[in-house]
């Protein structure tokens, strides 16, 4: 009897231990799945005003989208997580403010006061709110009251009546030519391999009515259209190497056979080589591109490199990206085209920023930063290193900015004057800040701090709007003194 009781106790203890261990393992496994969020791919968003990409997070096997990242390029956003609750105020341009309400771990919420059920749980990660990708279409259609088309597998989202329709027209001849036409100019990435020429459209909302065309032609045998990973791809197949020419101002791409290489010159008597004689190399005919005035905006940091922690839930990288989009919008309102060096939460090294910045050949380079100390807006020009090497053949990497310092100073002065006009505290300084030194164009950096001393005010939409308007107005005022650049 005693033995059986002991056996029962032992069994009970073992079972309890197993139950405790099992419970602990379950809790650990659950928390591990929650914590192991990693970027899996990105969503391309096309709207009538802008194009942008958003990194997708894989939470518990499902792709999720950050609400702030999704809505910020489309209007003013004010997001505040309160414990497990998440409230986001969104104001589209020219429309009234509306509110999103969700709760971490719950699949129901509210948009504009109306209940909404998500296909999976809402999630808060590091103070950011995430919704399942498959819910984005309904959320946006309620928020923007417009037509939304989402292709979850292709990772492409179309807002409103955007869409670049692609048509194919094969004209047989010697050689045959495939005319690929669009409503407006396109700029795809082109790759060739034997029997294929592929066009990848990343920024253009290209769509096609048919997925595949087969031709009975000796040269061009077919074309297929596909969408994946946020891009559209057109693959033209042929029996010989193919090449592409652009026509109609970039609205038409003509695919045809690559001309055969010219026959080698007849081998004659080898002349005695003459020193110091270089045969002239004929440059391929190229349509000259006109000079243009482009402002390149470089929102600092990104990805794992968060920059300054403005608050525990607000990193510098988010503040500057929001400001960059506002500056781009304000410049567009003044008829100035502007590009963003990063338009999503990705990490870029300082050298990569300098390389991309110079390759874009901007008229003005503008770096944006934010700080959790100090007050107001600081406008910086480059403080160049001591060792300024001069060379007639090469532009020294560390001091590429030297020749542009005067123009950079003019831009800084103009922006400062606009800040002053809006009564925003400001100062102009020279700073040892990379990659400004490496930029071969007029370049300034702007660091915003709180206007009042309270760090929470730094991301207020009204403050960011004022700063963005000052920057854009300053650039517009000095535009006629800055030379346009041929791309």
Partner 1 sequence: MTRPVLLMFAILLLIAAGLGFYAYHLKVKVASDEQRLAQQSQVVVPPASGPTTLVTLYVASDQDGGLRRSQVNVPFPQERSERARAVLRSLLTTYLQPDSQHPIGAGSDVRDVFLLGSDTAVVDTNLAFADSHPSGVLAEELTIASMVTTLNANDPQITRVKILVDGKERDTLAGHADLRRFYLASGIGQTLKDMP
Is there binding between residue 89 and partner 1 (CB under 8 A)? no
Q: β-pairing, 76-82 with 85-91?
A: antiparallel
Shortest distance in whole angstroms from residue 375 CB to partner 1:
6
Of 441, 471, 440, which Cα lies nearest the Cα of 364? 441
Is there binding between residue 24 and partner 1 (CB under 8 A)? no
Is there binding between residue 385 and partner 1 (CB under 8 A)? yes
Is there binding between residue 378 and partner 1 (CB under 8 A)? yes
Residue 441 in tokens: 């164009």
Is there binding between residue 386 and partner 1 (CB under 8 A)? yes
Is there binding between residue 355 and partner 1 (CB under 8 A)? no
Shortest distance in whole angstroms from residue 292 CB to partner 1:
29
- Applying CB under 8 A, the site for partner 1 has a residue count of 41
H/E element holding 31? helix 2-35
1, 3, 5, 392: which one binds partner 1 (CB under 8 A) = 5
155, 156, 198, 301: which one binds partner 1 (CB under 8 A) = 301
Is there binding between residue 18 and partner 1 (CB under 8 A)? no
100, 130, 365, 380: which one binds partner 1 (CB under 8 A) = 380
By CB under 8 A, which span of 88-96, 275-283, 305-313, 320-328 interacts with partner 1? 305-313
Between 106 and 375, name the residue whose CB sits nearer to partner 1. 375
By the 8 A CB rule, do 124 and 130 touch?
A: yes
By the 8 A CB rule, do 346 and 302 touch?
A: yes
Secondary structure letter of residue 437 according to DSSP = G
Between 89 and 434, name the residue whose CB sits nearer to partner 1. 434
Is there binding between residue 409 and partner 1 (CB under 8 A)? no
Q: How far apart are CA 64 and CA 309, in angstroms?
A: 24
151, 305, 332, 396: which one binds partner 1 (CB under 8 A) = 305
Task: To the nearest 10°, report the CA torsion of 467, 366, 306, 109.
Answer: 50
Is there binding between residue 405 and partner 1 (CB under 8 A)? no
Tokens 């602990």 correspond to what residue?
24
Is there binding between residue 329 and partner 1 (CB under 8 A)? no
Beta bridge pairs of residue 236? 197, 223
Shortest distance in whole angstroms from residue 230 CB to partner 1:
29
Is there binding between residue 316 and partner 1 (CB under 8 A)? yes
Residue 274 in tokens: 């003459």
Is there binding between residue 374 and partner 1 (CB under 8 A)? yes
Give the number of other Cβ atoms within 10 Å of residue 130's Cβ: 26
Is there binding between residue 28 and partner 1 (CB under 8 A)? no
59, 447, 451, 463: which one binds partner 1 (CB under 8 A) = 447
Is there binding between residue 371 and partner 1 (CB under 8 A)? yes
**φ and ψ of 328, to 5 deg:** -60, -45
- 251 to 290: interface string for partner 1, x by CB under 8 A: ----------------------------------------
Of 426, 329, 324, which Cα lies nearest the Cα of 379? 426
Of 442, 435, 437, 439, which Cα lies nearest the Cα of 383? 437
Shortest distance in whole angstroms from residue 13 CB to partner 1:
5
Task: Strands of 47-151 (E only): list them.
Answer: 51-59, 62-66, 76-82, 85-91, 98-103, 108-111, 114-117, 123-125, 128-132, 148-151
By CB under 8 A, which span of 15-23, 230-238, 415-423, 466-474 interacts with partner 1? 15-23
Is there binding between residue 387 and partner 1 (CB under 8 A)? yes
Site for partner 1 in 208-247 (CB under 8 A): none
Between 23 and 195, name the residue whose CB sits nearer to partner 1. 23
By the 8 A CB rule, do 281 and 351 touch?
A: no
Q: How far apart are CA 256 and CA 238, in angstroms?
A: 9
Phi-psi region of 376 (alpha: psi -120 to 50; beta: other; left: phi over 0): left
Q: How far apart are CA 369 and CA 380, in angstroms?
A: 11
Which residues are at the interface with partner 1 (CB under 8 A)?
A: 5-6, 8-9, 12-13, 16-17, 20, 301, 305, 307-309, 316, 350, 369, 371-375, 378, 380, 383, 385-387, 398, 427, 429-434, 437, 445, 447, 449, 453
């Amino acid at each position: 009897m005693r033995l059986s009781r002991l056996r029962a106790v032992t069994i009970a203890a073992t079972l309890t231990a197993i139950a405790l261990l099992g419970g602990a393992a379950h809790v650990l496994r659950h928390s591990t799945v929650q914590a192991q969020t990693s970027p899996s791919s990105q969503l391309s968003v096309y709207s009538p005003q802008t194009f942008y990409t958003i990194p997708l997070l894989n939470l518990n096997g499902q792709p999720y989208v950050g609400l702030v990242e999704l809505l910020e390029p489309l209007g003013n956003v004010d997001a505040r997580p309160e414990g497990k609750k998440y409230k986001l105020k969104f104001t589209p341009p020219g429309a009234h403010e509306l509110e999103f309400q969700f709760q971490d771990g719950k699949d129901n919420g509210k948009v504009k006061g109306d209940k909404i059920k998500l296909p999976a749980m809402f999630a808060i990660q590091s103070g950011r709110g995430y919704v399942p990708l498959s819910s984005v279409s309904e959320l946006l259609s309620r928020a923007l009251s417009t037509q939304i088309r989402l292709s979850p597998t292709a990772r492409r989202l179309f807002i409103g009546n955007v869409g670049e329709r692609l048509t194919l027209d094969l004209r047989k001849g010697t050689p045959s030519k495939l005319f690929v036409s669009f409503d407006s100019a396109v700029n795809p990435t082109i790759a060739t391999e034997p029997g294929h020429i592929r066009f990848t459209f990343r920024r253009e909302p290209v769509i096609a009515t048919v997925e595949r065309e087969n031709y009975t032609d000796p040269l061009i045998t077919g074309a297929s259209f596909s969408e994946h990973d946020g891009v559209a791809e057109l693959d033209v197949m042929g029996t010989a190497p193919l090449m592409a020419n652009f026509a109609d101002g970039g609205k038409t791409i003509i695919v045809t056979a690559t001309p055969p290489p010219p026959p080698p010159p007849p081998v004659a008597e080898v002349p005695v080589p003459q020193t110091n004689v270089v045969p002239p190399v004929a440059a391929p005919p190229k349509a000259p591109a006109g000079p243009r005035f482009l402002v390149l905006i470089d929102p600092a940091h990104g990805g794992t490199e968060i920059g300054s922690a403005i608050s525990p839930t607000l990193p510098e990288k988010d503040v500057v990206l929001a400001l960059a989009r506002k500056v781009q919008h304000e410049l567009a309102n003044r008829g100035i085209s502007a590009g963003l060096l990063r338009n999503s939460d990705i990490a870029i090294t300082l050298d990569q920023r300098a390389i991309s910045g110079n390759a874009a050949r901007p008229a003005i380079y503008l770096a944006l930063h934010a700080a959790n100390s100090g007050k107001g807006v600081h406008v910086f020009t480059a403080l160049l290193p001591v060792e300024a090497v001069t060379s007639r053949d090469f532009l020294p990497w560390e001091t590429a900015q030297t020749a542009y310092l005067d123009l950079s100073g003019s831009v800084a002065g103009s922006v400062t004057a606009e800040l002053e006009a809006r009564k925003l505290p400001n100062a102009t300084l020279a700073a040892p800040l990379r990659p400004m030194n490496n930029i071969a164009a007029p370049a300034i950096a702007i660091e915003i701090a709180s206007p009042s001393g309270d760090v929470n005010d730094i991301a207020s939409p009204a403050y960011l709007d004022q700063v963005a308007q000052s920057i854009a107005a300053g650039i517009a005022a000095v535009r006629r003194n800055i030379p346009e650049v041929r791309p």
